Amino acid sequence: MGATTQREGSGGGLRRLVHEVRELALGEQTSYASGRLTVSLQAARALVADPALAAVRLACAAPDELVRIVGALDAVQPCTKGPGGGGVFPGFVGPALPPGRGETHVLRGAAVLAAGYLPRAQEAVIDMSGPAAPLSPLATTQNLVIEFERADGASWEDVEAALRRGLLRVAVHLADAALEAEPDAVEVLPEPDAGPAGLPRVAVVTNLQTQGKFKDVFVYGRSMSGGLPTVISPNELDDGAVVSGQYGHPALKNPTYLHQTHPVVAALRARDDLCLAALVLCPEPVEQGAKELVSAHAARLCAGLGIDAAILTKEGGGNADADVALKMDLLEEEGIAAVGIFAEMAGRDGTGPPLVVAPTRATAMVSVGNYDERLSLPACERALGRDRVALLDRPATDALELPAAAIYSALSPLGWGRLTCHEAA
């Protein structure tokens, strides 16, 4: 802990050293070699240990296994810049300073998750196989699942904070095991603005939920509640500058893992006919006046940065639609093309109005699917996190009928998924 970040003069940019993980198992020592990640039960438990937590258990869940994770909370991609982290997860593991430069090792194909009961956490389900598997990004990763109980007398806030610290520390610990390994790939992420002139400048505007306990998202370890939008380098996301403490709306969840791997940022980076010009992070206030101020300020920021087009992502349900809709309209007023990513809430049969609050002037919207449509999940062999699905009052290993709304990140507005809506017949 506390290793210095590497700076190269006034330049920025990040080199991402990718280590693929194809197998995950518990063992004596934590090690990584040739795609196989072994986790020391003892070491991991020690990193999670906290007076607020009792009965911490670890388990592995791999893609295609007949395993169901119930009550998934946050998920984190293992990353590190040096032994102990070297500055990743600022404000939690590393010091609260902007990361995102130098080199970062990531274990691609692995994730550390916490699963269990927290108040205000709607039960999120991840099926590692079956019809619900393609819907969740965490069904594609080798998962180290941390289960827990609340220690006697501990407050739930302390439990949640302890879980977060534990998850992030374990994530660093796992990535540290790959520090000496030859990376499978090296990806160079230039700073925004470093691209050739003349390309359309596209901003990503990412709204973060800021509703207090168990419904907050942290930037450099701090909540953006009550604040104004800010601009950070997209490269800071890789180093865990944004950490999720939000557990509502399972399908709409943007876990830390998806902030780290921000799909929209990645999609923009993949194009050479567009320039990823900026990442704007905004709080999502509940109050109308604050929504209008934050949205207007975000639009001004984009205009000031010479942005030509913006892609907007959000977090939360219908209330959060308003923040996106407001921004889209204000951006269009500034002459900036706005594209919003929305989840639809069209009811069980898909005939209700898709959005609670739609933009009035802007029109370009991407759909990540209908929240309310039902899925039939088959019975599975093993369940992690919780042993009953409270929503249905059934054992977690049973065959279950659930709405898409219950599947972890199935409709994440960060755009990972291929789920969408079309007009049926």
Q: Which is nearer to another protein, 4 or 420 (CB)?
A: 420
Report the residue from 339, 378, 388, 398 that binds another protein according to the rule CB under 8 A: 339
Tokens of 386: 């919780």
205 forms part of the interface with another protein (CB under 8 A): no
Report the residue from 27, 304, 318, 395 that binds another protein according to the rule CB under 8 A: 318
346 forms part of the interface with another protein (CB under 8 A): yes
232 forms part of the interface with another protein (CB under 8 A): no
376 forms part of the interface with another protein (CB under 8 A): no
232 DSSP 8-state letter: E
Burial (Cβ within 10 Å: 0-12, 13-18, ≥19) of residue 168: buried
From the list 25, 129, 146, 19, the residue with the least C-alpha distance to 74 is 146
Q: Which is nearer to another protein, 3 or 199 (CB)?
A: 199
Q: Which is nearer to another protein, 222 or 361 (CB)?
A: 361
Q: Which is nearer to another protein, 158 or 334 (CB)?
A: 334
Tokens of 142: 């080798």
Tell the residue number behind the tokens 């994730």, with chain if given. 111
User: Within positions 55 to 74, which residues make up the interface with another protein, using CB under 8 A?
Assistant: none
Tokens of 17: 């050293």
User: Within positions 240 to 269, which residues make up the interface with another protein, using CB under 8 A?
Assistant: 263-264, 266-268
x/- string (CB under 8 A) for another protein, residues 126-155?
A: --------x---------------------
234 forms part of the interface with another protein (CB under 8 A): no
Q: What are phi and psi of 160, to 5 degrees?
A: -65, -45
From the list 261, 284, 265, 278, the residue with the least C-alpha distance to 208 is 284
Q: Taking contact as CB under 8 A, which single stretch among the options 110-118, 187-195, 246-254, 271-279 is the one that binds another protein?
A: 271-279
123 DSSP 8-state letter: -
| CA 278, 217, 385, 34 torsion-angle sign | positive
Cβ contacts of 131 within 8 Å, gap of 6 or more = 375, 376, 377, 378
Q: What are phi and psi of 42, to 5 degrees?
A: -65, -50
Q: How many residues contact another protein, by CB under 8 A?
A: 58
Using left for φ > 0, alpha for ψ between -120 and 50, and beta otherwise, residue 21 falls in beta
288 forms part of the interface with another protein (CB under 8 A): yes
**Interface with another protein by CB under 8 A: which residues?**
134, 200, 202, 263-264, 266-268, 270-271, 273-274, 288, 308-309, 311, 318, 337, 339, 341-342, 344, 346-347, 349-356, 358-360, 363-370, 373, 404, 413-425
